[in-house]
Structure 1
């Protein structure tokens, strides 16, 4: 049985999106002036930062790849849960674009007086996470209903979802006046989001097993009463 072209395209787009989405290691090779352990990744494309155009552009490319992959899968999908999940993933990409369009004004981790909470950026970031976790929950439920459509997602997806939620919650310290090490947990969260994209891509890349109809038991001849 051959892999449908739409599934193959969606898998490739999501895999590429996973790699591009995790662009934060570039900060180890660029003089950003930020401490990765104690700064948000979104500070890399804050409005007054030297590499805001570069990191903002990479974020937009990642969003385009994920949106294309999600919409490709959505167009070929049957079933309300799965379609809602792929739609939520496309929403995640759209909100990620909005996140770049209304960036943080400055890097709060290194600039005294810079506000940690930028209302519009905080709102778009919240919507990004809402759409992400909605896509995870819906696609996990869809995979449990029909495991052959997304092999591996039903079993491994809940682990990734739990870890991603835990790392996301661990990044909110600065919003409540308790900064420190939130950069580590956020970057771990970004890696887990990439793992989720790869998990979806792996499931899409698996050739669905053909459905074998149940064999009917052969009918035995009725015993004859004649001798």
Structure 2
């Protein structure tokens, strides 16, 4: 069995750490009891009027920095499908860093009726309004990266099967979240959390792929 050298291990560790930190919404109910584990959008925990919003915003910033730096380093030495996968990781990283800083939300629309009304009237800041754009870019980058990784891992047996399982979670969560956005009900938070679990799984999976030398 070949050993994984430091040059391969470091990107894997960085992406594994990013996947864990990206699941910071799991501690949301502990820091902000107003939100249950499956209530509203996870990004509302980082809204600037919420308690401990800096914790969740910093989490997004760290995830974004880890993903961006790792993606650039890997993309510069990759070719074919892997290169597309790592540039998708960079897009996710940049957009996620913006989510927690420049485009963090002003308030939490699903928990604050006044905030929801102001959002409908377009009277919140440009940062709040830009949040949906940065979040969409992050999700699109993650999906594109995962699909490119699956193309690169064709014929790899267990590695491909794990990737397909992660893709199923991410794609189902994303599709259901889009339906819920168009027709909101109490399941919105639950489906978005499925999507977020899929993104965390993708980051960990990408880290594992990054540590495996190409044959």
Q: CA deviation at 1:66?
A: 1.9
Specify which structure has the higher proportion of helix. 2
- Are the aligned partners of 2:32 and 2:45 in contact in 1 as well (CA < 8 Å)? no
- Are the aligned partners of 2:99 and 2:135 in contact in 1 as well (CA < 8 Å)? yes
Q: Deviations over 1:163-210 (max 9, x none)?
A: 20111222235633523122122222212211122222223334666x
Q: CA deviation at 1:72?
A: 3.0
Inter-partner Cα distance in structure 2 for 1:66 and 1:153: 21
* Structure 1 spans left out of the alignment, 5+ residues: 210-227
Q: CA deviation at 1:107?
A: 0.8
- Are the aligned partners of 2:60 and 2:99 in contact in 1 as well (CA < 8 Å)? no
Q: How does 1:41-190 map to 2 (within 5 A)?
A: 41-77=42-78, 79-100=79-100, 101-115=102-116, 119-144=129-154, 147=156, 152-172=158-178, 175-190=181-196
* Counterpart for residue 124 of structure 2: none
Inter-partner Cα distance in structure 2 for 1:66 and 1:93: 5
Inter-partner Cα distance in structure 2 for 1:105 and 1:175: 19
Q: Deviations over 1:18-52 (max 9, x none)?
A: 11111012223223412332211000011211221
Q: TM-score, normalised by structure 2?
A: 0.84
* Structure 2 spans left out of the alignment, 5+ residues: 121-127
Q: SS state of the match for residue 144, structure 1?
A: coil
- Are the aligned partners of 2:26 and 2:37 in contact in 1 as well (CA < 8 Å)? no
Cα 1:102/1:208, change in 2 over 3 Å: closer
**Could you say what the CA RMSD is over the residues aligned between the two structures, in angstroms?**
2.3
Q: TM-score, normalised by structure 1?
A: 0.80
Q: SS state of the match for residue 114, structure 1?
A: helix
- Max Rg structure: 1
